[in-house]
């Protein structure tokens, strides 16, 4: 069951806040925030269209061009180097 959310809307300018404020920070009017509630969505959530399971041998992959970063161990860890246009996050102990 979805939870009803409460928020406060300024009756002068339409500013919304998750909590009540005595003065609207947008238009500087006092006591203009009124409590409102969102209605939970009805029915089941819309999920992404489920795909059918595929066998591993049916999946094709394409080899990406890789650029060596100059560190042999890092290139090996990344599968041959950096892929242009990709983002690689490296973490660990300093």
**pLDDT (tens digit, 9 = 90+) per residue, 48-68?**
567 888 899 988 888 788 999
pLDDT tens digits for range 17-57: 999 999 999 999 999 999 999 876 665 655 556 788 889 99
Q: What is the pLDDT of residue 9?
A: 94
Query: What mean pLDDT do residues 60-78 have?
Result: 89
Reported pTM: 0.42
Q: What is each CA distance from 31 to 8, 40, 69, 83, in whole angstroms? A: 11, 27, 60, 56
Q: Which residues contact 92 (CB under 8 A, 6 or more apart)?
A: none
């Amino acid at each position: 069951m979805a939870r009803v959310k409460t928020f406060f809307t300024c009756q002068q300018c339409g500013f919304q806040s998750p909590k009540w404020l005595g003065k609207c920070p947008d238009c500087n009017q006092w006591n203009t925030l009124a409590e409102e509630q969102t209605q939970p969505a009805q029915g089941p959530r819309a999920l992404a269209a489920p795909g059918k399971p595929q066998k591993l041998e049916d999946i094709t992959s394409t080899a990406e061009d890789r650029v060596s970063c100059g560190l042999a161990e890092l290139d090996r860890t990344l599968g041959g180097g950096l892929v242009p246009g990709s983002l690689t996050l490296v973490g660990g102990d300093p």
